[in-house]
């Protein structure tokens, strides 16, 4: 996705999030995030191929115009006040059907990566300031590689880290051998923050209304 498209996409996506948040109080995640992304892409002239509810591995949204794929993710940012560290966590594949660690890594970096970008929406609930904060990030999928980290086996599964690039990964046995990705946003340089928006709690679901025309009025 080139810089011009990113520049156009950012305000379109932000508008979709703010419009939804004015109508509904429920947080944006999962398929709803996919739908808002599709809406924003189509508003800026990008044709999409999206199958809502699909559980196929890999790309959630195909960008027909660009011949690219996007993996749509909800993420969580954890902030450490003492150090200023910001860590983004993202869940990924469950891999119990794949037996060995080497085969899991090969799947994650190979067959499972039929997309070019992660489109991540992080959400923070700021109880002190009584606001919900959304941040959208576009991450180059080529820079998130299971094969680039040094893995060690633990009782709970496997863990690997590449400190230079700011990537940490886990495979959790208790969660069907699910991959988890942790990106140190202070060091990881392959992601673009498209925008950040803050919505006061007292505005959630209260600033936009859906009305129906009454022909008998």
25 belongs to a structural domain: yes
CA distances from 59 to 34, 56, 103 (A): 11, 8, 20
pLDDT tens per residue, range 165-200:
899 999 999 999 999 999 998 888 878 889 999 999
User: Is the CB of residue 41 less than 8 Å from the CB of residue 61?
Assistant: yes
Mean pLDDT of the chain: 90
Number of domains in the chain: 1
User: Is the CB of residue 111 less than 8 Å from the CB of residue 66?
Assistant: no
147 belongs to a structural domain: yes
- Quick one: average pLDDT of 102-110? 95
Q: pTM of the full predicted structure?
A: 0.87
Rg for the chain (alpha carbons), in Å?
19
Per the structure, the complete domain to which residue 88 belongs is given by 3-203
74 belongs to a structural domain: yes
217 belongs to a structural domain: no
**pLDDT at site 215:** 52
72 belongs to a structural domain: yes
User: Is the CB of residue 104 less than 8 Å from the CB of residue 175?
Assistant: no
54 belongs to a structural domain: yes
213 belongs to a structural domain: no
128 belongs to a structural domain: yes
Residue closest to 56 by CA, chosen among 84, 86, 25, 34: 34
Phi, psi of 147 (to 5 degrees): -75, -10
């Amino acid at each position: 996705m080139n810089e011009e498209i990113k520049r156009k996409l950012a305000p379109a996506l932000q508008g979709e999030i703010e419009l939804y948040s004015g109508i509904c109080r429920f947080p944006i995640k999962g398929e709803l995030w996919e739908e808002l992304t599709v809406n924003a892409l189509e508003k800026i002239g990008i044709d999409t191929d999206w199958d809502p509810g699909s559980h196929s591995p890999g790309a959630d949204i195909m960008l027909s115009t660009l011949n690219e794929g996007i993996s749509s993710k909800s993420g969580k940012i954890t902030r450490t006040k003492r150090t200023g560290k910001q860590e983004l966590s993202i869940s990924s594949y469950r891999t119990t059907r794949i037996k060995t660690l080497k085969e899991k890594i090969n799947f994650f970096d190979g067959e499972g990566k039929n997309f070019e970008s992660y489109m991540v929406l992080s959400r923070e609930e700021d109880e002190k300031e009584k606001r919900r904060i959304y941040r959208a990030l576009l991450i180059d999928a080529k820079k998130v590689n299971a094969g680039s980290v040094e893995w060690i086996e633990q009782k709970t599964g496997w863990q690997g880290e590449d400190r230079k690039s700011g990537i940490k990964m886990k495979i959790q046995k208790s969660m069907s051998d699910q991959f988890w990705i942790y990106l140190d946003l202070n060091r990881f340089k392959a992601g673009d923050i498209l925008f950040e928006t803050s919505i006061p709690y007292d505005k959630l679901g209260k600033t936009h209304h859906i009305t129906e025309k009454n022909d008998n009025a």
